[in-house]
């Protein structure tokens, strides 16, 4: 089961996130999906996840995720990946900077009945804001 779940999550990352094909999102994500770490203005639902990806694709039209490592146990899949892209559209109120970014992300997906049903993530948001010039470190 773990290998099948890893294959599902890998395909989601490659086909929906990196290839920016949200029309296929429902093949991988349940309509009952819950994103436990969603932040406003994005709802913790399937539709909220779709809108988050649309916002990311607008801000980083060349966005892709590079999977660095993936581990599965039982019904959970953990993916360590790097988001890469060029800031060419508004992102969280930050106007386009043209800067190239790389941001590490750890996702945990719970899979049931062949689809992702729950999600948690940790992202280097401070590192991303520094790269965009929205935050500077003291000194």
> Which residue(s) pair with 65 in the sheet?
83
Q: Are 77 and 111 in contact (CB under 8 A)?
A: yes
Position 7 scores a pLDDT of 97
Give residue for tokens 């990806």: 53
Give the pLDDT confidence of 98-133 residue by residue, as tens digits: 999 999 999 999 999 999 999 999 999 999 999 999
**Neighbouring C-beta atoms of residue 103, cutoff 10 Å:** 20
What domains lie within the chain, and their CATH numbers? 2-132 (3.10.450.50)
Give the pLDDT confidence of 25-54 residue by residue, as tens digits: 999 999 999 999 999 999 999 999 999 999
Checking if the pLDDT of 1 tops 80, the result is no
Whether the predicted model's global pTM rises above the 0.95 cut: no
Checking if the pLDDT of 138 tops 90, the result is no
Position 93 scores a pLDDT of 92
Confidence of residue 139 (pLDDT cuts 50, 70, 90): confident
Position 26 scores a pLDDT of 97
Task: Convert the chain into a string of H (helix), E (strand) and C (coil).
Answer: CHHHHHHHHHHHHHHHHHCCCHHHHHHCEEEEEEECCCCCCCCCCHHHHHHHHHHHHHHCCCCEEEEEEEEEECCEEEEEEEEEEECCCCECCECCCCCEEEEEEEEEEEEECCEEEEEEEEECHHHHHHHHCCCCCCC
Among candidates 43, 36, 47, 48, which has minimal Cα distance to 120?
36
Give the pLDDT confidence of 71-99 residue by residue, as tens digits: 999 999 999 999 999 999 999 899 999 99
Q: Mean pLDDT over residues 1-30, rounded? A: 95
């Amino acid at each position: 089961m773990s290998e099948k779940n890893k294959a599902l999550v890998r395909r989601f990352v490659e086909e929906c996130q990196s290839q920016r094909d949200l029309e296929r999102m429902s093949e991988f994500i349940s309509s009952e999906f819950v994103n436990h770490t969603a932040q406003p203005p994005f709802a913790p639902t399937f539709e909220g996840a779709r809108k988050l990806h649309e916002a990311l694709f607008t801000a980083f039209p060349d966005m892709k995720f590079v999977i660095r490592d993936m581990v599965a146990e039982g019904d959970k899949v953990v993916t360590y990946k790097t988001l890469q892209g060029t800031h060419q559209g508004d992102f969280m109120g930050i106007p386009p900077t043209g800067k190239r970014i790389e941001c590490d992300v750890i996702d945990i997906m719970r899979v049931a009945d062949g689809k992702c049903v729950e999600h948690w993530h940790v992202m280097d948001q401070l590192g991303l804001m520094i790269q965009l010039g929205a935050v500077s470190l003291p000194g």
